[in-house]
Structure 1
Amino acid sequence: MKKPKFLSADEAAAMIQDNATIATIGMTLVSASETILKAVENRFLETGSPNTLTLVHSCGQSDRERGIQHFSHEKMLHCIIGGHWGLQPKMMDLISSNKILAYCIPQGQFSQLYRSMAGGEPGKITKVGLGTFVDPRRGGGKMNEITQSAPDISDIVTIDGEEYMRYRPIPLDYCIIRGTYVDELGNLTTDEEAMQLEVLSAVLACKKFGGKVIAQAKYKVQAGQLHCKKVIVPGVFIDAVVMCTNPEEDHRQTHSFAFNPAYCGDIKVPADASDALPLTLRKAIGRRALMELHMDDILNVGTGIPNDVVGPIITEERISEDVTITVECGIYGGIPMGGVDFGIAKNNFALVRHDDQFDYYNGAGVDITFMGAGEIDFEGNVNATKLGPLPTGAGGFIDITTNARHVVFCSSFTGKGLKCSFAGGKLYIDQEGSLTKFVNQLQQVSYNGLIAREKQQKMHYVTERAVFELTHSGLMLTEIAPGIDLQTQILDLMEFSPIISPNLKTMNERIFCSDTPFGLKDILHRKQ
């Protein structure tokens, strides 16, 4: 039987050759093979090799310091093809300063591209991405100036008279993965990981192209000890295994803690006071956004305001049994964490594979998704992927918003310096933000309002002071917050004039009261 070699981190790093294409599997710091990634970086810093690498990754994989930040060196990296870089400041600097080639592929399409590659298909064929910045007619996901003249990694194909995106296969030389237990034969499990991710699909894609698989593991056990159903990657597909010698530092379950059994489903813990959020601008936005829910909805939350506030609000409003919360990494139910721990949840009742989750998002589509956003124009186009000079990338934004039945964007009305306060059920702007978000021209189109209108997708844009709805004629203002002046605090701060609803309403004042719950459960029941 074929068995992997058990190597030191330095020995594994020495396997990687110059000019190689490497896939790494993880999300934020979850499943980051830190022991191996650090060894590869140290080898480059000491010897100049491996260099001129192409790094491939579906998810953002860093906590601003660790993860694939270790590859953020000029000359070490030649090209990056990824889904998201919002927590990778060094990588975004390399991209924005034109030091490396950079392409973006939507996260869900990327996770499933591995499956297509593994099966020898001509790429991932999908509607997802049409009309956005990853469409080759709108830039092809090329994230900086030097990439504009580089070859495309996607194209448009026509099948039965309809247009589709085709994300082309990416030949892999190496795939770096992580697991919890490994036996003497190299069979690998992910018991303590907070996500299942697309580990096996990426491994098989690498094998399709004759590449090598390097795995990091936490515990080594005797052959035959692992339950066959728990083995995620059979050892015959793994070439080398590196045992982590410092799990507290280099095999953390996520950024905030080395291991918590509630986040991998081993235990359920009671909700406590720390799960409730104080009233802030972000919570007020989340409260109003969640008023768009209906009983039995299956919902998705994206990064930013939604992931930081939606889960806690649902918990404190006691509607966890009335709706089902999901996250793109495969979570169902529970209380998601936010910030650098995006993508994990405690007390979730199901945790499916990352690429399988996107079969649902890209197929049936969630009932409603709550997404962050940065810019919006009159036509309902939204930019959430490039704000200012730094390219954050798409993550799962394009995948999920394309097919969700109802999209609710959550954003402050202005940016940079906005400060608010609340009293007597009213909203007060203590300091206005200096950044305009309602603009005539977007930096990038992440969500295509025209396509949304053509397929009659429902869309709202919720801020702390105003609610907009996308209509066939354009963006319509439907609600304003109590205490806000329509002309000076809304219309004068927009580059375009929205349609104003003839039935313009005042937002529910309980949104701006600090007492909890604010009555969301009653709102949902009245809709039945």
Structure 2
Amino acid sequence: MSKQVTAARAAELIRDGAVLSVSSSSGLGCPDAVLAAIGARFKREGAPRGITTLHPIAAGDMYGIKGIDHLAKPGLLKKTLCGSYPSGPFSAGPPKIWKLIGANEVAAYNVPSGILFDMHREAAAKRPGVLTKVGLGTFVDPDNEGCAMNAAASEPIVARVSFDGEDWLYFRAIAPDVTVIRATTADGRGNLTYEHEGAYLGALDQALAARNNGGIVIAQVKRIVENGTLKPHDVRVPGVLVDHIVVAPDQLQTTQTPYDPAISGEIFRPLSSFSTPEMSVQKVIARRVAMELAEGMAVNIGFGISANVPRILLEEGQHGKVTWVIEQGAVGGIPLLDFKFGCASNAEAIMPSPQQFTYFQAGGFDASLLSFLQIDREGSVNVSKLSARPHVTAGAGGFVDITARARKIVFAGFFKAGAKLSLGHGGVGIEQEGRVNKIVEKVEQISFSGRRAIEQGQDITYVTERCVMKLTPDGLLVTELAPGIDLERDVLAQADIPLRVADGLKTSPAILYGEGPMGLELKGGARV
């Protein structure tokens, strides 16, 4: 019997009240044709109703791959647990899912991506749930929000428990009734290969969670080939786990990208084909972040200013001295920017995301380079919530997993929001002061706990265009000042909290502000 079905037929398999798990990372690996068919069926028939969806990283974007927005209809979607949600500048208005969240028409939870993958693994093994220290002291902790994003999310999904004399967070496993995954190729038996994909994500774990609990697995692919023609080492999800195959030949590889063989590791791009950042204040910040690295490090990188650090190393002739590791699974190579963020070219390996998160959660890597929206008195960081701009903050994604035990974290961003800045005379000029303070008494949401970082002995640095700060047991310490910046007027007076100043306050190196390569050379010393 053939496993191939239409997207419309696959949508008919979702029953009322079902738990639906979806594998994707924004546009990367998103089974959009199947999700669109589910939304179309609901519009046509009013079914399925009251479903719960699980999205370990994210489903869809606002640039051509709607993902979860296909399901964002009152009556269809009852509850959703996502690592992150679609965000960005919306020419046609905010995503539909944000309208449902704001109107309390769906119970919405922001769960760290790695924990969501762990919940699938535990469900697959028929174990009760996840015990973890990831998220303690953050919005994930039930002592704070417990992952809830709105009043409709009133059912607790996480508890703080004592086990073996220690405090842990406990997430109950959730067994999917249906898992929807995506691959490039299927044979008639349902074996799946990923040769055109930029990542494997968590498809295998999500498929196991459904299959082992009596559910079904639907795979969206570009093509079907004859049985026996796929090499067994290339099969990432075996056919015994796949019930139905939907062919969608026009599926995008990732956001606004039909197909780029360098993303899937089929070709290697010459280093000369990668652009390097033009001179700007953002580039100065990225250069200063790069100075925090050492040869031999394995370094995680996040969205924002720090995403340009690999290009800084490339410009400085230092490419290859640091191995980049990103949550979607790429190890090595050069992480890509903008719509292709989450992918890498010239990767050395691509890990399944659940195993990559295991690596992150235990702090097996050397450093992480991340962004911030707010920093508070305790050094805590908010990246996940701004009430003034709710549709621009997508949620935390893998941020909480990555920062939970990272030995060294460098947060990068602007000291104030909205300032008009300039470069010149070997330093930074402030032509017009910003309107919104980002160094605040208390962050709106704790995505990273400074208090817990101190308890664990983590090395935390904050790099801005005006100064560099370190987290100490006594709070934030200004250790370095940019040329052209007045300490009292431009730093201390522009923070909502008192900042301590190091006795040996340094001046940022002049080489940060010049055109052309700055002569950076990474030295060894990644691990002690």
Q: TM-score, normalised by structure 2?
A: 0.94
For each residue in 1:380-424, what CA deviation from the matched residue of structure 2 results, as whole angstroms up to 9, or x when unmatched? Answer: 111111122525222111111111110111111111x33322123
- Superposed, 1:203-222 pairs within 5 Å as 203-222=207-226
| Shift in Å, 1:58 | 0.6
For each residue in 1:424-468, what CA deviation from the matched residue of structure 2 results, as whole angstroms up to 9, or x when unmatched? Answer: 321112333212100112111111111111111110111111111
Rounded to whole Å, the distance in 2 between the matches of 1:281 and 1:274 is 20
- Superposed, 1:230-249 pairs within 5 Å as 230-245=234-249, 247=250
| Shift in Å, 1:510 | 1.7
SS in 1 for 2:258: coil
Match among 3, 20, 27 for residue 18 of structure 2: 20
Match of residue 201 from structure 1: 205
Deviates more, 1:150-159 or 1:453-462: 150-159
Rounded to whole Å, the distance in 1 between the matches of 2:282 and 2:173 is 40
Amino acid at match of 2:446: V
Rounded to whole Å, the distance in 2 between the matches of 1:527 and 1:129 is 26
Amino acid at match of 1:292: E
| Kept in 1: contact 2:290–2:309 (CA 8 A) | yes
Amino acid at match of 1:304: G
1:374 aligns with 2:411: no
Match among 394, 406, 409 for residue 408 of structure 2: 406
| Kept in 2: contact 1:291–1:524 (CA 8 A) | no
Match of residue 152 from structure 1: 156
Rounded to whole Å, the distance in 1 between the matches of 2:269 and 2:19 is 42
For each residue in 1:219-261, what CA deviation from the matched residue of structure 2 results, as whole angstroms up to 9, or x when unmatched? Answer: 111111111111112212212111114x1xxx11111321111
Deviates more, 1:123-132 or 1:273-282: 273-282
Match of residue 281 from structure 1: 281
SS in 1 for 2:292: coil
Rounded to whole Å, the distance in 2 between the matches of 1:220 and 1:176 is 17
| Kept in 1: contact 2:3–2:188 (CA 8 A) | no
Bigger helix fraction: 1
| Shift in Å, 1:273 | 5.5
Match of residue 272 from structure 1: 272
Match of residue 91 from structure 2: none
Amino acid at match of 1:144: N
| Kept in 1: contact 2:113–2:397 (CA 8 A) | yes
| Kept in 1: contact 2:61–2:86 (CA 8 A) | no
SS in 2 for 1:275: coil
| Kept in 1: contact 2:296–2:524 (CA 8 A) | no
Among all aligned residue pairs of Structure 1 and Structure 2, give the percentage whose two residues are the same amino acid. Answer: 36
Rounded to whole Å, the distance in 2 between the matches of 1:106 and 1:157 is 18
Q: Report runs of 4+ in structure 1 exceeding 4 Å deviation.
A: 525-528
* Count of equivalent residues: 516
Match of residue 387 from structure 2: 388
Rounded to whole Å, the distance in 2 between the matches of 1:318 and 1:163 is 46
The structure-2 alpha-carbon separation of the partners of 1:86 and 1:465, relative to structure 1 and needing over 3 Å to count, comes to: farther
- Superposed, 1:422-433 pairs within 5 Å as 422-433=423-434
Rounded to whole Å, the distance in 1 between the matches of 2:159 and 2:464 is 36
Match of residue 509 from structure 1: 510
1:342 aligns with 2:309: no
| Kept in 1: contact 2:334–2:344 (CA 8 A) | yes
Rounded to whole Å, the distance in 2 between the matches of 1:206 and 1:127 is 26
Match of residue 112 from structure 1: 118
The structure-2 alpha-carbon separation of the partners of 1:37 and 1:261, relative to structure 1 and needing over 3 Å to count, comes to: same
Match of residue 439 from structure 2: 438
Rounded to whole Å, the distance in 2 between the matches of 1:194 and 1:53 is 29
| Shift in Å, 1:146 | 2.7
Rounded to whole Å, the distance in 2 between the matches of 1:518 and 1:256 is 34
Rounded to whole Å, the distance in 2 between the matches of 1:10 and 1:109 is 32
| Kept in 1: contact 2:110–2:149 (CA 8 A) | yes
| Shift in Å, 1:525 | 6.6
| Kept in 1: contact 2:298–2:322 (CA 8 A) | yes
Amino acid at match of 2:181: I
The structure-2 alpha-carbon separation of the partners of 1:355 and 1:464, relative to structure 1 and needing over 3 Å to count, comes to: same
Match of residue 447 from structure 1: 448
Match of residue 132 from structure 1: 138
| Kept in 2: contact 1:297–1:323 (CA 8 A) | yes
For each residue in 1:163-204, what CA deviation from the matched residue of structure 2 results, as whole angstroms up to 9, or x when unmatched? Answer: 111111112111110111111111111111100111111001
Match of residue 10 from structure 1: 8
SS in 1 for 2:468: strand
SS in 1 for 2:440: coil
Amino acid at match of 2:319: S
Amino acid at match of 1:214: I
The structure-2 alpha-carbon separation of the partners of 1:224 and 1:22, relative to structure 1 and needing over 3 Å to count, comes to: same
SS in 1 for 2:262: helix
The structure-2 alpha-carbon separation of the partners of 1:72 and 1:272, relative to structure 1 and needing over 3 Å to count, comes to: farther
Give the aligned CA root-mean-square deviation in angstroms: 1.8
Match of residue 95 from structure 1: 101
Match of residue 176 from structure 2: 172
Rounded to whole Å, the distance in 1 between the matches of 2:365 and 2:431 is 37
Amino acid at match of 1:15: L
The structure-2 alpha-carbon separation of the partners of 1:364 and 1:438, relative to structure 1 and needing over 3 Å to count, comes to: closer
| Kept in 1: contact 2:34–2:220 (CA 8 A) | yes
Rounded to whole Å, the distance in 2 between the matches of 1:30 and 1:118 is 24
| Kept in 1: contact 2:16–2:51 (CA 8 A) | yes
Rounded to whole Å, the distance in 2 between the matches of 1:465 and 1:367 is 26
For each residue in 1:345-401, what CA deviation from the matched residue of structure 2 results, as whole angstroms up to 9, or x when unmatched? Answer: 111111111011112112243211011111111211111111225252221111111
The structure-2 alpha-carbon separation of the partners of 1:527 and 1:486, relative to structure 1 and needing over 3 Å to count, comes to: farther
1:259 aligns with 2:263: no
| Shift in Å, 1:339 | 2.9
| Kept in 2: contact 1:440–1:495 (CA 8 A) | yes
Rounded to whole Å, the distance in 2 between the matches of 1:62 and 1:482 is 42
The structure-2 alpha-carbon separation of the partners of 1:220 and 1:123, relative to structure 1 and needing over 3 Å to count, comes to: same
Amino acid at match of 1:131: G
| Shift in Å, 1:127 | 1.1
Rounded to whole Å, the distance in 2 between the matches of 1:432 and 1:470 is 25
Amino acid at match of 1:197: L
Rounded to whole Å, the distance in 1 between the matches of 2:43 and 2:283 is 44
| Kept in 2: contact 1:279–1:514 (CA 8 A) | yes
| Kept in 2: contact 1:198–1:355 (CA 8 A) | yes
| Shift in Å, 1:86 | 4.7
| Kept in 2: contact 1:424–1:513 (CA 8 A) | no
The structure-2 alpha-carbon separation of the partners of 1:437 and 1:503, relative to structure 1 and needing over 3 Å to count, comes to: same
SS in 1 for 2:271: coil
| Shift in Å, 1:306 | 1.9
Deviates more, 1:21-30 or 1:380-389: 380-389
The structure-2 alpha-carbon separation of the partners of 1:94 and 1:510, relative to structure 1 and needing over 3 Å to count, comes to: farther
Match of residue 496 from structure 1: 497
The runs of 5 or more residues in structure 1 that have no matched partner are: none
